[in-house]
Amino acid sequence: MTSMTRVDGRSAEQLRPVSITRGWLDHAEGSVLVEFGRTRVLCAASVTEGVPRWRRDSGEGWVTAEYAMLPRSTNTRSARESVKGKIGGRTMEISRLVGRSLRAVIDHAALGENTIVLDCDVLQADGGTRTAAITGAYVALVDAVRHLERKGALKGQALIDSVSAVSVGVVGGVPMLDLCYEEDVRADTDMNVVMTGDGRYVEVQGTAEREPFDRKLLDGLLELSAIGCAELTRAQSEALAVDLPAGSAR
């Protein structure tokens, strides 16, 4: 692993500063403003009784997610998908990824016939929005599950493990952790890894942006991502260790 300095002065295996602010919204049953450097995602968990039609009378709950970017979260403004009248492929792909990642740590039977929707809205984008979304949404999900617990609406321990995600990539031949946008556009390979708190994989998505990559580079990226996810798991634990203020709506 190299110790070459990066655009923002980090070492290759270093995350950007991570900030997880719980209770950022008054209405949602769980809400988190998560920041990976300048990337800023607002995650809101909404609890409703009942499940979608296709899951009714299964005794099991449902967790799903929707990801979106504000038009000016990015460097140049993008048109709203609501105005275009359809959702782009990237948005759908990430929404599905966030949902799958969270469901991997949920015991749906213990959840009972309740639905939790995680809205992940990117307020500012600087690379790694999907991994920040997963990492923050997990914390909002925990608050939503605690809300159900306080109401006596669970049928057991609904959370099996924690889940976090990080991007890794090969920039200038060097594997690097948690790419910012400037690094991301220059990367040969881009990989998003979603891991549980106990260090197993939920998703591994590696893409050769330019040059195909060999097994050795792949191994290097997998190692870096494990370092990053372990650190994010700690940040999630710390954020969740604090009690939310008593007067909070949740």
Handedness of CA 226, 228, 230, 233 (dihedral sign): negative
Q: Is 128 annotated as a binding residue?
A: yes
Nearer to its own copies (CB atom), residue 113 or residue 196: 196
Q: In whole angstroms, what is the distance from residue 50 CA to residue 48 CA?
A: 6
Q: Is 53 known to sit in a ligand binding site?
A: no
What is d(CA 83, CA 75) in angstroms, rounded to the nearest whole number? 20
Nearer residue to its own copies within complex by CB, 27 or 152: 27
Q: Supply the minimum distance, in Å, between the C-beta of residue 109 and its own copies.
A: 13
| 64, burial (CB in 10 Å: exposed 0-12, middle 13-18, buried 19+) | middle
Residue 91 marked in a binding site: no
Distance CA 129, CA 36 (A): 8
Q: How far is the CB of 96 from its own copies (least distance, A)?
A: 5
Q: Which residues bind its own copies (CB under 8 A)?
A: 25-28, 31, 38, 42, 44, 46, 48, 66, 68, 70-77, 80-93, 95-96, 100, 104, 117, 119, 121, 123-124, 126, 161, 191, 195-196, 198-208, 212-215, 218, 222
**Least distance (Å) between residue 108 CB and its own copies:** 11
Q: Any known ligand binding at 76?
A: no
Per-residue DSSP letter, 129? H
- Least Å distance, CB 19 to its own copies, is 15
40 touches 89 (CB < 8 A): no
**61-to-113, 118, 151, 178, 230 alpha-carbon distances in Å:** 4, 14, 16, 33, 28
Smallest gap from Cβ 246 to its own copies, in A, equals: 17
Residue 89 Cβ, how far from its own copies at the closest point, in Å?
3
- C-beta closer to its own copies: residue 14 or 121: 121
Residue closer to its own copies (CB basis): 89 or 152: 89
User: 229 Cβ partners below 8 Å, 6+ apart?
Assistant: 164, 165, 166, 193, 194, 195, 199
* CB nearer to its own copies: pick between 3 and 245: 245
Angle at 24 between CA 9 and CA 22, to 5 degrees: 70
Name the residue nearer to its own copies (CB basis): 120 or 235.
120
Question: Known binding site for phosphate: residues?
Answer: 90, 128-130
